[in-house]
Structure formats: C-alpha cells, structure tokens
Amino acid sequence: MPELPEVESARQKIQTVAKGQRIRAIQTLGDTIVFENVAPATFAKKLKGKKVLRVHRHGKFLWWEMDKPPHPVFHLGMTGHFAAPGIDNIELESGFDVGEQWPPRFWKVHMEFDNGKKLAMTNARRFGRIFLYKDPLTESTISKMGFDPLTQPITSKEFCEKIRSKKAVLKGLLLNQAFIAGVGNWMADEICYQAKVAPQRKCNTLTPKESQAIYKALMKVVTKACSVNADKKRFPKSWLFHHRWGKDETAQTSKGETIAFDTVGGRTTAWVPTRQV
C-alpha cells in the first residue's frame, strides 16, 4: 500500500503537472466503488474547467485545492497511484504494471490540462477512493486523523507523553491513523526495527528512552524516504525494508540478523527478535 512517502511523491507529481492549470478535458470510468460520495459523471462535470491552485496531502489522503469548490480528494488504497506521460512511476511492492499506453491500465479518472499535460489515477484492486467535498478539511476522512510527521510534526516530548499513555500494542498504535497519519505496514516495521523495540510491546511499558527512540526513528524514516522521492532503490541499504517482503524463512538483514514474521496488530510483521526487545 502507498504510505506517506509514496503519497507525498504522488503529490509532487500532481503539483508538477497540474498546479496553476485548468482542467481542459476529463473522463471518468463508471466505477461506483472507487467513487465514494459522487457519481463518476458528476465528478467530471463538477471539475471540468476548474483551475488547480495547490495540491495538499495529510497522511495518505490527497486533495486538490481548486479555484472554487467542490474539491477532489483521493486515497490510493492498496495499489493506486497517479500516472503522467513522461514522468516515471515509483515501484510499489504491491503495485501493478499500468503499461505504457494512454490512458494507462486500471485508470479511474484521466484528464488533460491547459498546458497540454495529462494525468490519470489508476487503481487496480479498487481499494482506492475518490471523493468530492466542499471543504475537505472539515470532513471526517481528514479532520479525525492524527498528526502528519512531515507537514505537521509534534515535539519529541509531546509524542513520548502520548505514546506512553496508551495501552495499545506498539505496532497497532503506529498504524492507527487517528494517532499518526500516514504510517503503514512497512514504515511501522522499519520504525520498530530502527528503534530496537519489539512491535508487540504495550505502549504503556515503554521507557522514556525507548519512546524517544521511536520518535527519532519515525522522523528519520519519513524524512529520508521523502527526500529520495520514495524511490526504494535509494533507501539506506541498512534498512529492514529491503529484506521484509515475501515472508522468506531464511530472510536476514544486511547485518546478518534473522528476520521473524508474525502477525501483530492484525498485520504481517517483520522484526528481529535478537535486536528488538
């Protein structure tokens, strides 16, 4: 699933193509599962001719600020992304090849702007969602989310006080979008690995030093992944990320540590028992 860094990469791509441009043409696929609160045809009708002022992101949600409401909101789900001719797509472990043709495979909406550039949202497994809102920030999809560690970070002190007050399992809390917006499965595993804390730990058993280590790992993972535009080939070779996929029983980290696979917080979890306590 696209997590905060991948969604931030999508935001930057959309901004490059669409910021300051009017939607000259738009076509939607009649997928009433992906289009959540608006009919696909109505979505196209409401946006055609509108100008994109800015592109925003909070956690895993994207929304476009138009010159007048309503404003489109997107969640990429498990496999979604935005494609644009001439701009490379980031590779997702759970991704599907959308091909070289235009519009791309699995498209749900594609559009052309006054500058001649094109953009499409694809969603192969149909877990993504498209909304149309008068004021996205007041809608529960965004307003009830926790802090965004890239755009709205909280202090180490505030984070440590909050996390140590919770009785939840650590990984489950990291995945809770009402606590931190944007952290998904691979990020949660990476944060726990770098902090040297077992993902099964109850948060109210964490020491001040451990909670500080988790905060530091969170900020490090987010900052680094976003700085390389979510290009997994440019993630540090020491990261667990490169070795956590596929539940390989022989999997080891770059340091030769044995990786275990368990279900924690309802999700498949990769961790290193000899390192994480």
| Long-range contacts, 171-175 (Cβ 8 Å, 24+) | 171/199, 171/200, 171/264, 171/265, 171/267, 171/269, 172/264, 172/265, 172/266, 173/203, 174/218, 174/265, 175/265, 175/267
Residue 120 identity: A
Angle between helices 208-227 and 156-164 (to 10 degrees): 120
Residue 60 among the catalytic residues: yes
In three-state secondary structure terms, 164 is helix
Which member of 60, 108, 118, 171 is catalytic? Answer: 60
Which member of 3, 6, 8, 257 is catalytic? Answer: 3
Count of C-beta atoms within a 10 Å radius of residue 177: 17
Residue 2 among the catalytic residues: yes
Residue 40 among the catalytic residues: no
Which member of 2, 5, 72, 136 is catalytic? Answer: 2
State the maximum Cα–Cα separation within the chain, in Å, rounded to a whole number: 58
Residues marked active site are found at 2-3, 60
